[in-house]
Structure formats: structure tokens, C-alpha cells
A and B are shown apart, each in its own frame.
Chain A
């Protein structure tokens, strides 16, 4: 099958817009065949994930495009970079690694990308609008943009994201097309107690369950409280895009393409209806941890995806309400963006957080930047995504718990979690 190309697309392939645009367009056209697309379409915004992980080939690719004169043609934000751009020396990042990471960052900013350096771009500068056609990388950001905002993107991996940003084009396919965004299965939360549904830990646990249940389906969630927060949807999407490949979910009465149940399914019937029980959530929660209760803790990692200002407020509250000190053997690391940090600096939350000994790390992530020393064996997190990837990527044991569990464990020096919500009545 061949893909219909515009005059400008053809000119790009023909090197009339330079060698970088030719390479970008060539990759896009080959991907159009993968997607079974018959034509290309415009996008008006991009978010680049290709700047996040430092590999020799990824650096070579970015520098090749930049040297060949690649420039983005639409507003383009950047995901995390493999180091904290200001504090990498203090964090013990080796010089050689830092040198390459800084080259990677420069290649992308040289191409005209905006130095947002965050995996939660939807909580910072340039969040996309409802219905906007965008090309986003970073699995959690994709899930959030599609689901919570109703913008339209496929799951764009490294390195089609920068190709789309340079060309301003993507294959017309998948979640760019309204009909492909209709719900496929219905998950009902009617059996879950309201006290569980308002708890922050419910969202990553449910996300982990969802990703395992339906790795590549579009789920519709019935019974989610209307007052669900941006951070809770962020946690749900991040977990579901880690345990599965969920790129879009609808929540009836919550997300913009699901004002009604019928709307979410675009008038069709669900392929499958699943009633979620507390036992499902208990099993998912247990699957997210490899470290048991009482295990000695080396680090607590929060902010995966990047912490928002509201989450800093919750952290300050959890620290102050407990009133104890950070255990001397535990590091409490919070990953966040320069944008959220700027708000924190202008608030009175900063003092209690810094006084407690929280290490605030900007622009990056524990998975992509070597900031946890090799003697770290056990970590705890409130993130489903972090809990999912930590055993493989960091070679550590991990315990999942709520933010309050994490703070209390950081004080005790061992994994300790409140179990009251997670028991059958």
C-alpha cells in the first residue's frame, strides 16, 4: 500500500527542505506503512521523549539531525534529560556521562525545542487543547494528553517524535482518528468503597490492574468520583502505560470524551464488562511490591511522573503531621520540573520540605540519570510506574505505598504501610 503525500511532503523527501527534513520524512513515511495509513496529516504540537535516555545511538541520531540543520516546525516541549542540569555534580553524575547528556540536551534545544525538561508537560507550559492533533512521546504523557485533555496522539516512541516535530506531519492513523478513540471495555467501580476511591493510592493500583487486564484496549471507567484530581489521573495513566500499553482511557463524567457512557463508546456496546472488586486491587497492589513490610529502606522516590505543586503541598502536610525526623539511612528524593519548583520556591512549603532533608532533583529521573548509588538495594515509591520498572532498570527491591506510607517509612527507616483500606471488610 502506498501513502498519499502532499507536495510539501514530497519536497521534503526530495531534500528540498534540507537533509534533516528528508530523514525525518523518510522515517515518517516508512512508519505510515507500519500504521497502515493512506495519508499524512498535520500536527500542531510535539513533545519529545527522545532526549530522555542517554544511549550512543540516540545521541548520534539527535546530533546528526541538528548538524544537518533540523529545526522543529511546531511548538515542541522536551521530556526529562539524563541529568539535573544545575546540580548534576552534587548528585554524583560522572563527568563522561554528563558530557554526553549535555550534548544530547544541546542537540534538541539547537533544533528549537523548548527546554521544559519534564515528563509531566501537561502540568506545565503549553498543555494541549481538546481535539488538538499532537505528536507526543513519553507513555504517561501520551495517556494523560489523550485521556484527561482529549488531545489526539498515538504512542510515539523515540525517535519519530522529533521527526514529526521537524516535518509537522504524522501518518493519519490510530488515535488521531475519532472513530478509533471509542471505548472497548467497561470497568465498573460500583463495588469499591468511596473511601478507597478518594485515596491517592487507589489510582496507581487501579492503573496497574488496568494495564495488566487490557494492555492494548481502550477502557472506559464507570464510577470514578467527579472530583478526581489531575495528579490522580496522572498516576493512573502512568501505571496503566507501564503494566500495559494503555494510551487512552475514558472515565464517565470525568474525561472530556466521556460525558456519558454512550458517548464514551460512541453509541456501540462494550466488548466486555468487568466489575472491579477490592480483591482485584489487593492483588494488583501486592504485585507492585517486591520488598516486604519491615524491610530496611535505602531511598524513597517520589515524583514519577514529575511532582506537581499540589503534591509538594501534600508532602509538606505528611511531613508536618508526623512531626518526626528523616531516618539517617534513608534518602528522600523528589523528582520535579523547573516549573513546579519555581512555584515551590515562592511558597512557604519550601522550608518544611528542605528542613526535613528532602532532596529535590530537577529536569530528570532516577531511571535515566545515575543519581542512586549502587549500594541502594531497597526503595519505596508512591508511583505505579516507578514500582513497575525499578526491579529491572535499577536492580533494586521496591515497595509501593501511599505518599503517607512513604513519608512514614522514610522516618522509620523500614517499609511500613497502612493496611486499613486494603482489607476485605
Chain B
């Protein structure tokens, strides 16, 4: 069954992908490689995982003000996540997505959800982000059972 959450479209756009979920904030500079899309903060719980094409769900960015540059470079390089879902507005990440849009007419939608809705998303859920900030979730077990019945 699908469920729809209403979020705030901090950077509006459409995206679709599997959820990569972390409960920890991440600084994109020092935390994400724009060359490979890998999480490289060795203190982060998802260190080694690749965000490319996923909807990256994490509380918010932190640390360096270079994070926006890393996001823009990953958008240009094609290694960026398909979309970003946070539970707090992180202007620095939003900035990377906005400048990329101005430069390349390519962006990563950023949606902010309430804590309660944020907590509903689990690793592997299939997510669709709409330009108005709606997030449609198909739970992981249902994604699997659908693919089996196929």
C-alpha cells in the first residue's frame, strides 16, 4: 500500500528512488565524495555506502560551508542522490541544489518532513518526491512482494 506524506519543498523537483536512511547528520564536505557518491566520513554510520540514485534520508547537513559545492559538483558529475529528505532545513545543502539549477538546469529536490513523518521512512522503501513536496512511500516489504508476484 502506498502512503503519502506532505513535506515542505525546500528545493522543488521530482525524484524517485530507494531510501538510504540514516539517523545521523552528515557534512557533505569531508563526508561525501562527488567523484563516486560514496559516504566517506569514517565516523558516520553509513560510511562506505553510495548515495547515487537513492533518496538520501538523514536529519540534516552539518559542518563545513563547502558542502554546497560538493553537492553541486556531484549533480554535475551525475553521482548525486536522486533526492534529499531532511527533518530540518539546511540552507547550505539547499544552496548547492539551487546554484546547480541556475548553472546547469539540473538539481536535486530537497524536502523537509516533520519528525513524525521522517521517522516513518525505512531503509529500502521506494520513495517518489513530487514538486509540491509530497512524498509517496511504498514500504520495502511491499516492494519485494510486488517484485516476487511479478
The residue in A35, A61, A138, A243 that gathers the most chain B C-beta atoms within 10 A of its C-beta is A61
Chain A CB within 8 A of B133 CB: no
Q: How far is the CA of A36 from the CA of B11 in the complex (A)?
A: 13
Question: Do A49 and B30 touch across chains, with their CB atoms under 8 A apart?
Answer: no
Chain B CB within 8 A of A359 CB: no
Q: How far is the CA of A139 from the CA of B27 in the complex (A)?
A: 11
- Tell me the interface secondary structure of chain A in the complex: helix
Question: Do A34 and B34 touch across chains, with their CB atoms under 8 A apart?
Answer: no
What is the interface size of chain A, counting residues whose CB is below 8 A from a CB of the partner? Answer: 46
Candidates B29, B31, B40, B103; contact of A60 at CB < 8 Å: B103
A159 closest partner in B (C-beta)? B99
Chain B residues whose CB sits within 8 angstroms of the CB of A57 once the complex forms:
69, 72-73, 75-76, 100, 103-104
Candidates B43, B66, B104; contact of A157 at CB < 8 Å: B66
Chain A residues whose CB sits within 8 angstroms of the CB of B102 once the complex forms:
23, 26-27
Chain B CB within 8 A of A400 CB: no
Of the candidate stretches B86-94, B119-127, B140-148, the one touching chain A is B86-94
Chain A residues whose CB sits within 8 angstroms of the CB of B91 once the complex forms:
31, 34-35, 154-155, 157
Candidates B42, B64, B72, B75; contact of A58 at CB < 8 Å: B72
Of the candidate stretches A389-397, A402-410, A413-421, the one touching chain B is A389-397
Chain A residues whose CB sits within 8 angstroms of the CB of B99 once the complex forms:
27, 61, 158-160
Question: Do A245 and B69 touch across chains, with their CB atoms under 8 A apart?
Answer: no
Chain A residues whose CB sits within 8 angstroms of the CB of B34 once the complex forms:
55
Chain A residues whose CB sits within 8 angstroms of the CB of B89 once the complex forms:
34-36
Question: Do B76 and A56 touch across chains, with their CB atoms under 8 A apart?
Answer: yes
Min CB distance A277 to B, Å, is 22
Q: How far is the CA of A138 from the CA of B69 in the complex (A)?
A: 12
Min CB distance A315 to B, Å, is 26
Min CB distance A280 to B, Å, is 17
Q: How far is the CA of A157 from the CA of B91 in the complex (A)?
A: 8
A241 closest partner in B (C-beta)? B63
Chain B CB within 8 A of A118 CB: no
Chain A residues whose CB sits within 8 angstroms of the CB of B62 once the complex forms:
211, 215-216, 244-245
Candidates B40, B69, B100; contact of A392 at CB < 8 Å: B40
Question: Do B65 and A242 touch across chains, with their CB atoms under 8 A apart?
Answer: no
B62 closest partner in A (C-beta)? A245
Chain A CB within 8 A of B60 CB: yes
Chain A CB within 8 A of B37 CB: no
The residue in B10, B29, B40, B42 that gathers the most chain A C-beta atoms within 10 A of its C-beta is B29
Question: Do A158 and B103 touch across chains, with their CB atoms under 8 A apart?
Answer: no
Q: Mark A241-263, 1 if CB is under 8 A from B, else 0.
A: 11111000000000000000000
Chain B residues whose CB sits within 8 angstroms of the CB of A137 once the complex forms:
65
Chain B CB within 8 A of A109 CB: no
Chain A CB within 8 A of B98 CB: yes
Chain B residues whose CB sits within 8 angstroms of the CB of A392 once the complex forms:
30-31, 40-43, 47
B40 closest partner in A (C-beta)? A392
Chain B residues whose CB sits within 8 angstroms of the CB of A367 once the complex forms:
30
Chain B CB within 8 A of A340 CB: no
Chain B residues whose CB sits within 8 angstroms of the CB of A34 once the complex forms:
10-11, 89, 91, 94-95, 98
Chain A CB within 8 A of B68 CB: yes
Chain A CB within 8 A of B61 CB: yes
Q: Mark B4-20, 1 if CB is under 8 A from A, else 0.
A: 00000011000000000
Q: How far is the CA of A137 from the CA of B99 in the complex (A)?
A: 15
Min CB distance A351 to B, Å, is 36
**Which residues of chain A from 338 to 392 have a CB within 8 Å of any chain B CB?**
367, 388-389, 391-392
A30 closest partner in B (C-beta)? B98
Chain A CB within 8 A of B109 CB: no
Question: Do A157 and B68 touch across chains, with their CB atoms under 8 A apart?
Answer: yes
Question: Do A244 and B69 touch across chains, with their CB atoms under 8 A apart?
Answer: no
Chain A residues whose CB sits within 8 angstroms of the CB of B42 once the complex forms:
290, 391-392
Q: How far is the CA of A58 from the CA of B65 in the complex (A)?
A: 14
A31-B94, A35-B91 as given contacts; A157 in contact with B67, CB under 8 Å: yes
Min CB distance A130 to B, Å, is 22
Chain B CB within 8 A of A264 CB: no
Question: Do A157 and B73 touch across chains, with their CB atoms under 8 A apart?
Answer: no
Chain B CB within 8 A of A52 CB: yes
Chain A CB within 8 A of B131 CB: no
What are 23 A-to-B residue pairs whose CB atoms are below 8 Å?
A27-B99, A30-B98, A31-B95, A34-B98, A35-B91, A53-B66, A57-B73, A57-B100, A58-B69, A61-B72, A61-B99, A61-B103, A139-B64, A155-B92, A158-B66, A216-B60, A216-B62, A389-B64, A391-B42, A392-B40, A392-B41, A392-B42, A393-B30
Given contacts A31-B94, A242-B27, 18 further A-B contacts (CB under 8 A): A31-B91, A31-B95, A55-B34, A55-B70, A57-B76, A58-B69, A61-B72, A138-B65, A142-B65, A157-B65, A158-B66, A158-B68, A158-B72, A216-B60, A388-B63, A392-B31, A392-B47, A393-B29
Spell out B's residues near A (CB within 8 Å). Answer: 10-11, 25, 27, 29-31, 34, 40-43, 47, 60-70, 72-73, 75-76, 88-89, 91-92, 94-96, 98-100, 102-104
